[in-house]
Chains A and B, each alone.
Chain A
Amino acid sequence: MIRNFIISGSGGQGVLSIGTILANIFMLSNKYVSFCPCYGAEMRGGAVNCEINASDTEILSLQNKEVDIVVALNQTSFDKFISKVKKNGTIIVNSSLAKINKTRDDIKYIFAPMTQEATKLGNIKTTNSIALGIISKITDNFSMEKVKKAYEKILKDKTELIQKNLEAYLIGYNYLQERQ
Chain B
Amino acid sequence: MSEKELLKGNIAIAKAALNCGCTCYFGYPITPQTEIGEYLSQKMQEKNLAYVCAESEIAAINMALGAASTGAKVMTSSSSCAVSLMQEAISYACSDELPIVVVNVMRAGPGQGYIFPSQGDYNQATIGGGNGDYHTIVLSPSNVQECIDLTYKAFHLAQKYRNPVILLADGLLGQMAEPAELTENPYPQIDNSSWRLDGANSRPSRNIHSLEPNQTKLNQHIINLYKKYELIEQNECDYEEYLCQDAQVIFVAFGSLSRHVKSVCNHYRKNGIKAGLFRPKSLYPFPYKKLNELSRKTPIFIDVEMNMGQMLKDIRLAILSNAKISFIGKPTGNWLREEEIINAADNIIKEYYASI
Hey, which bits of chain A sit against chain B, CB under 8 A?
Answer: 20, 23-24, 27, 32-37, 59-65, 153
A27-B4, A35-B6 given; 13 more Cβ-contact pairs under 8 Å: A20-B6, A20-B177, A24-B6, A27-B6, A32-B179, A33-B179, A35-B176, A36-B172, A36-B176, A60-B259, A61-B259, A63-B335, A65-B339
Bound-state CA distance A63–B260 (Å) is 9
Contact assessment for A35 and B178 in the assembled complex, using a CB-CB cutoff below 8 Å: yes
Closest 9 CB pairs of A and B: A60-B263, A35-B177, A27-B179, A36-B176, A60-B259, A34-B178, A60-B262, A63-B335, A24-B6
Q: How far is the CA of A36 from the CA of B9 in the complex (A)?
A: 11
B178 touches which of A59, A61, A65 (Cβ 8 Å): A59
Interface residues of B in 1-50 (CB under 8 A from A): 4, 6
- Asked if residues B175 and A36 are in contact (CB atoms below 8 Å), the reply is yes
In the bound complex, residues from chain A placing their C-beta under 8 Å from that of B178 are 32-35, 59
Closest residue on chain A to residue B262 by CB atoms: A60
Q: Among the interface residues A23, A24, A35, A37, which one has the most CB atoms of the partner chain B within 10 A?
A: A35
Chain B 249-293, CB-CB to A under 8 Å as 1, else 0, gives 000000010011011001000000000000000000000000000
Q: Tell me the bound Cα distance from A26 to B332 in angstroms.
A: 30
Contact B339 A62 (CB under 8 A): no
Q: How far does the Cβ of B130 sit from chain A's closest Cβ, in whole Å?
A: 32
Q: Do residues A34 and B177 form an inter-chain contact, with CB atoms below 8 A? A: yes
Tell whether B96 is near chain A: CB-to-CB under 8 Å: no
A34 touches B4 (CB 8 A): no
Indicate which residue in A27, A32, A62, A64 contacts B176 across the interface (CB closer than 8 Å): A62
**A23–B177 contact, CB under 8 A?**
yes
Task: Assess whether B210 is interfacial by the CB under 8 Å rule.
Answer: no
Partner of A62, one of B4, B179, B266, B335: B335
Interface residues of B (CB under 8 A from A): 4, 6, 172, 175-179, 256, 259-260, 262-263, 266, 334-335, 337-339
The 9 sampled A-B contact pairs (Cβ below 8 Å) are: A27-B6, A33-B179, A35-B177, A36-B172, A37-B176, A61-B260, A62-B172, A62-B176, A63-B335
Q: Which residue of B lies closest to A34 (CB)?
A: B178
Verify B338–A61 contact, CB threshold 8 A: yes
Cβ of A64 and Cβ of B337 under 8 Å apart? yes
Question: Which residue of chain A has the shortest Cβ distance to B179 in the bound complex?
Answer: A27
Smallest CB separation, B262 vs chain A (Å): 5
With A and B bound together, what is the CA distance between A32 and B178 in angstroms? Answer: 8
- Once the chains are docked, how many angstroms separate the CA of A35 from the CA of B179? 10
Complex CA gap A48/B166 in Å reads 31
A37 and chain B: residue at smallest CB distance: B175
Contacts of A64 in B (CB 8 A): 337
**Contacts of A63 on B, CB cut-off 8 Å?**
172, 334-335, 337
Considering the chains assembled together, what is the distance between the CA atoms of A51 and B281 in angstroms? Answer: 26
Query: What distance in Å separates the Cβ of B237 from its nearest Cβ neighbour in chain A?
Result: 24
- Chain A nearest CB, measured from B179 CB (Å): 4
Distance between A8 CB and nearest chain B CB, rounded to angstroms: 15
Query: In the docked arrangement, what's the CA distance between A121 and B209, Å?
Result: 67
User: Which residue of B is nearest A27, CB measured?
Assistant: B179
Residue on A with the closest CB to B31? Answer: A41
Min CB gap B285→A, angstroms: 27
Least CB distance, A21 to chain B, in whole angstroms:
10
